[in-house]
C-alpha cells in the first residue's frame, strides 16, 4: 500500500525538504510515499485507503490586485467556491503551473500546506474539522503526511472558513 520512510535520504528532494520542516516544527509523523501518484484527491485516498474527504488538498489561486498567491486547503470531497474565497481575500483568478511552481516551490499535485517560496495568503476549509485525521501533500506527487485538522491550523496559522461550493 504505502511506504513510510524514516530515512530522509530515500525521499525525493522536495519531500525531504518538507520532512525536515515538519520535524523542525515538532510534527512527529513521517512523510509517506504512495506507490502511485497522489495528484488527485481520489488517487491519494485510494493509495492510502482513506476517504476522499480526508485528503487536505492544496489549491493555489492568484489574487488579482497584487498577484499574491492564495492557498486554499480544502477537503478532497469539496469543490472550492471561488466567490467565498474572494470574500475573504479579494478577487482571485486561476494559477497556472508556472505560477504554482514559482510561488510555492512545488509542482501541481505535490503542493504542501507549508514551506512555500512566497508565503501565501492561506485559508483552511472548515469542513476538514469534521474529521479526526487528514493527509496532505508533502512536496511531491507521491509524498503525503498525516495530521489532524488542529495540527494543520497550527502549522499554517491560517483562518478556518467556509470555502466549499454548496448546492443551492
C-alpha cell at 162: 467556509
Q: What is the tally of structural domains in the chain?
A: 1
Name, in order, each residue with C-beta under 8 angstroms of 58's C-beta and a sequence gap of 6 or more.
71, 72, 73, 111, 112, 113, 136, 137
Write the pLDDT tens digit of every residue in 70-100. Answer: 999 999 999 999 999 999 999 999 999 999 9
What value does the mean pLDDT of the chain take? 93
> Residue 53 falls within a domain, yes or no?
yes
| CA angle in degrees (0–180, nearest 5) for 107-70-168 | 110
Domain that holds residue 79: 3-161
Instruction: Say whether pLDDT at 3 is over 50.
Output: no
Rounded to an integer, the average pLDDT of 5-14 is 80
Instruction: Tell me the torsion sign for CA atoms 96, 99, 102, 103.
Output: negative
> Residue 166 falls within a domain, yes or no?
no
> Residue 22 falls within a domain, yes or no?
yes
**121 with 30: CB under 8 angstroms?**
no
> Residue 168 falls within a domain, yes or no?
no
Q: Which of 167, 139, 165, 168 is nearest to 77 (CA)?
A: 165
Rounded to an integer, the average pLDDT of 124-140 is 97
Write the pLDDT tens digit of every residue in 26-61. Answer: 999 999 999 887 778 998 999 999 999 999 999 999
Residue 140: give its domain's CATH number: 3.90.960.10
> Residue 153 falls within a domain, yes or no?
yes
Amino acid at each position: 500500500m504505502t511506504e513510510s520512510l524514516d530515512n530522509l535520504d530515500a525521499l525525493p528532494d522536495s519531500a525531504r525538504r518538507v520532512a525536515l520542516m515538519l520535524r523542525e516544527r515538532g510534527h512527529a509523523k513521517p512523510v509517506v510515499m504512495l506507490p502511485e501518484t497522489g495528484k488527485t484527491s481520489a488517487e491519494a485516498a485510494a493509495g492510502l485507503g482513506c476517504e476522499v474527504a480526508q485528503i487536505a488538498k492544496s489549491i493555489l489561486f492568484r489574487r488579482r490586485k497584487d498577484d499574491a498567491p492564495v492557498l486554499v486547503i480544502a477537503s478532497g470531497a469539496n469543490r472550492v467556491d471561488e466567490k467565498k474565497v474572494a470574500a475573504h481575500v479579494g478577487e482571485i483568478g486561476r494559477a497556472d503551473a508556472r505560477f504554482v511552481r514559482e510561488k510555492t516551490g512545488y509542482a501541481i499535485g505535490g503542493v504542501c500546506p507549508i514551506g512555500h517560496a512566497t508565503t501565501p495568503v492561506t485559508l483552511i476549509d472548515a469542513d476538514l474539522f469534521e474529521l479526526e485525521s487528514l493527509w496532505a501533500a508533502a512536496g511531491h506527487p507521491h509524498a503525503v503526511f498525516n495530521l489532524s485538522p488542529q495540527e494543520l491550523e497550527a502549522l499554517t496559522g491560517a483562518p478556518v472558513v467556509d470555502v466549499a461550493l454548496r448546492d443551492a
